[in-house]
Amino acid sequence: MTAIRSPRPAALLHPCIVAPHRASPRAFGALALALVAGAPFSADAYVLKAPWRGDSLPQGAFLRTGGHVGYNCPGDECAVDMHPIRYDATAGKWTRSKTLPEIDPLGEYDDYVGWRMPFYSPVDGEVIACERRIPEESLDGTAPPECVGLPGGDCASGGNFLIIRTFDDHLFYIAHLGADTIPEHLCPLPATDPLPPVTVPASFRACAIPDPDDLWAGVRLDLRLDLKGIPFPTVLAGDLIGRFGNSGGTDEPHVHFSISEYQEDGQGAMCSKDVVYEFAEAWSQDYTGTVSSSAAGWDPLDAASPLFDGTKYLMWGDPQGPRMDSLDIEEGTRPALALTPGGGVAAFRNAAGKLEVVGFNIDTNDAFDLGVGDESFSATELDLARIGSGRHAVAAIRDQDTRLTLVPYFVQTDGDVVRGTTRTETTPGMSLVKLTRSPVHDGVVAAIKNSQGKISVINYATSVVGETISLTRQPNSDESPDVIKDLDVAAITSGRLSGEPTVFKGVVTVERGNDDLVRLRSWQIGSTGTPVDLVDTELVLEREFDTAFTVQDVDVTVTGSGGRDFIVVSSVTTGGTLRVQSWEISSTGQIGRVEQVDSVASVDGTYLAGLSSARVDLKDAVVAARLSTGALTMISFHVDPAGALRRVGTRDEGGVAATAIDGRSSEDDVVALVPTASASELRLIHYRTNYSSTH
């Protein structure tokens, strides 16, 4: 049979095997080709994201590991086994059971904490070998009937597995996954393909790479997709790759994975050798059998040293870490939030229907310290934005006469706010307002739904005298041609395509039109703050079929690295799907879609209106959304230097009625301001984050 190469043959790992991950060719380019062509391997730990997320397990449950039996890394054994566990407060110990202090070893699979928990690819690549059809082992250790008649009396010891070859010549291997839980498009084996036996001829695993320590092993020939005439499926980081199970040679349900270096031996054999690896955007904490985890005990993993040294660890696989503090403020609605270097400013409509603004600091213990706030004018709509890079902010409201009113606040070092000189526009009929920082000077940009139902974009400069801030409206605002229902706005400071020497400065707006379709617009702001000009308008289309879609909510933020801004547009479709797209913007303000990720919360309900999004770190964005169950979910998306979009983590919380979030990349944290669903009590919540600077 002729091997199918895509683009070159891949290699499989030792007893258990993992499948490569599909990748967008655009996302890799010349660097990826150079790596595949044979760049030398680094002796440092290989860094990857954890292959599960914070929402993979129930609240309070984690994965535990101490390595693998015979762990010797670097050396001949760098794999790890992981077991989902939770802390039973009544018994005062950790357990693998969902409900009992001890797991019943002969009970039901569903009794295990992590049964059918989802796993996600930590890498972009291609699946070179896989199996997905092996039944679960019996809990008493006996092989399933379908495997008993095979050579060796059992199916392959790795059970259901994937081997993913990355584009820098490494293999990611995950094994013992549940029967029929690996997506068929990642492991497209025909029904007539025989199940793989545990015993195979030695020639099936031969590798001719010379090695004095004999650490290289060949991939089993009977597991390679190319030798079955199947092209290698591509997979992207963040794609679902399977669920927790008990297939293959296991004595209890667990998951097994490793990273290995990949080479070919010159005779077409795919060879692998285990390497040291470390997780980024994850957390660890020492495990003891009788002590629960603590919020302050989580250490960020940053690949500084090998993790597994025989110590048992609890693992949390998510860039969004533990809740460090929460503080109830008072009853309120319409939350808005702007973080500053030392803390932030919260704005909301209080129980009296007035704008209330509260400043806060975040101390060295990650706790909130509220300052003295300010209650001002009656408000039906409001938003908030920081002024430049400092600690001051501006609130914008729709007052009782339906006019746009802006209220600047000087924020003292202790978090107290001092109201500045209020500015009210003369034209009534404004119904919606969104604010962002000005991209060209200290100030803010307001995007409003004006009296004609269209978008007006207005730039304001600020000046500070003592502790008094005042605003000046810059001349020459601009207006969109279409009537809208909803909108959001974000600042652009480095809009350019790769290789362009100059940058676009302005804002982007996203709108839900009267037809419920989504439009994205770019607006240029002159270097002196004027004029404001509408430059480009794009109808937002679904990526696969290039068709328009209707929505119930929209939001926008901007992130990026390497001197390029990328636009992150999030929307909740009328069917309850969260749709997130990345867009690029040229130096002339032309915008174009790059990628799309859909999230369907089928287990936890559908998504509802009430989106909020924010930039975190240099390359990531967090989208906060409400579910029909009342829960708040915050989902992290990574945007790479080419604009490729990957879902990288999720943090869930209790019931909320709305949400506002913001992030501080310099402090590695995220803050949410949410009115609780039960009492409408506004709550500030502070989370640590661990976003990788390189992933």
Q: Are 387 and 441 in contact (CB under 8 A)?
A: no
Beta-carbon contacts of 619 under 8 Å, excluding residues fewer than 6 positions away, are 559, 560, 561, 638, 639, 640, 641, 691
Range of the domain at 682: 320-689
Stronger pLDDT, 655 or 30, i.e. the higher one: 655
Q: How confident is the model at residue 306 (pLDDT cuts 50, 70, 90)?
A: low
Residues 255 and 349 in one domain: no
CB atoms within 10 A of CB 542: 15
- Say if 545 falls within a structural domain: yes
- Say if 11 falls within a structural domain: no
> How many folded domains does the chain comprise?
2
Residues 218 and 307 in one domain: yes
Query: How far is 191 from 194, CA to CA, in rounded Å?
Result: 8
Q: How confident is the model at residue 307 (pLDDT cuts 50, 70, 90)?
A: low
CATH of the domain at 348: 2.130.10.10
Residues 306 and 339 in one domain: no
Residues 394 and 540 in one domain: yes
Query: For 57, which DSSP code?
Result: S
CB atoms within 10 A of CB 368: 21
Residues 250 and 326 in one domain: no
Any alpha helices (H) in 87-190, and if so which ranges?
A: 145-148
Residues 360 and 244 in one domain: no
Q: What are 270-299's pLDDT values in tens digits? A: 999 988 888 889 999 999 899 999 988 999
Residues 392 and 289 in one domain: no
Q: What are 100-128's pLDDT values in tens digits? A: 999 988 889 999 999 999 999 999 999 99
- Say if 17 falls within a structural domain: no
Residue where a domain stops, chosen among 284, 316, 348 = 316
Distances (CA, A) of 385 to 134, 252, 394, 470: 55, 53, 6, 15
Stronger pLDDT, 668 or 338, i.e. the higher one: 338
Q: What is the pLDDT at residue 5?
A: 28
- Say if 270 falls within a structural domain: yes
Q: Where are any strands of DSSP class E within 98-146?
A: 118-120, 125-131
Residues 509 and 542 in one domain: yes
The whole-model pTM stands at 0.88
Task: Inform me whether the pLDDT recorded for 598 exceeds 80.
Answer: yes
Q: Are 633 and 681 in contact (CB under 8 A)?
A: no
Residue where a domain stops, chosen among 297, 316, 335 = 316
Q: What is the pLDDT at residue 31?
A: 24
- Say if 463 falls within a structural domain: yes
Query: For 296, which DSSP code?
Result: G
Q: What are 455-491's pLDDT values in tens digits? A: 999 999 999 999 999 999 999 999 999 999 999 999 9
Q: Are 268 and 261 in contact (CB under 8 A)?
A: no
Q: What is the mean pLDDT of residues 192-204?
A: 92
Residue 337 has which token pair? Answer: 């939030």
Residues 242 and 354 in one domain: no
Residues 261 and 348 in one domain: no
Beta-carbon contacts of 17 under 8 Å, excluding residues fewer than 6 positions away, are 129, 130, 131, 156, 158, 161, 162, 163, 173, 175, 219, 220, 223
Task: Inform me whether the pLDDT recorded for 653 exceeds 70.
Answer: yes
- Say if 1 falls within a structural domain: no
Q: What are 89-100's pLDDT values in tens digits? A: 999 999 999 999
Query: How far is 217 from 269, CA to CA, in rounded Å?
Result: 10
Q: Among 183, 179, 49, which residue's Cα sits nearest to residue 115? A: 179
Residue where a domain stops, chosen among 273, 291, 316 = 316
Q: Among 156, 150, 113, which residue's Cα sits nearest to residue 137? A: 156
Q: What is the pLDDT at residue 201?
A: 86
Query: How far is 512 from 501, CA to CA, in rounded Å?
Result: 33
Return the percentage of the chain with pLDDT > 70, whole number.
91
Residues 38 and 117 in one domain: yes
What is the end-to-end Cα distance of the chain in Å, rounded? 39
- Say if 497 falls within a structural domain: yes
Task: Inform me whether the pLDDT recorded for 635 exceeds 50.
Answer: yes
Return the percentage of the chain with pLDDT > 90, whole number.
71
Backbone angles phi, psi at 495, to 5 degrees: -80, 115
Q: How confident is the model at residue 305 (pLDDT cuts 50, 70, 90)?
A: low
Q: Where are any strands of DSSP class E within 474-565?
A: 478-479, 484-495, 504-513, 518-525, 532-539, 541-542, 547-548, 551-559
Q: What is the pLDDT at residue 603?
A: 55
Q: What is the pLDDT at residue 599?
A: 86
Q: Are 547 and 541 in contact (CB under 8 A)?
A: yes
Residue 332 has which token pair? Answer: 């309120």
Q: What is the pLDDT at residue 389?
A: 81
Query: How far is 632 from 279, CA to CA, in rounded Å?
Result: 26
- Say if 276 falls within a structural domain: yes
3-state secondary structure 325-371: EEEEEEEEEEEEEEECCCEEEEEEEECCCEEEEEEEEECCCCCEEEC
Weakest mean pLDDT among 217-231, 407-421, 671-685:
671-685
Residues 145 and 99 in one domain: yes
Query: How far is 657 from 631, CA to CA, in rounded Å?
Result: 9
Q: What is the pLDDT at residue 15?
A: 40
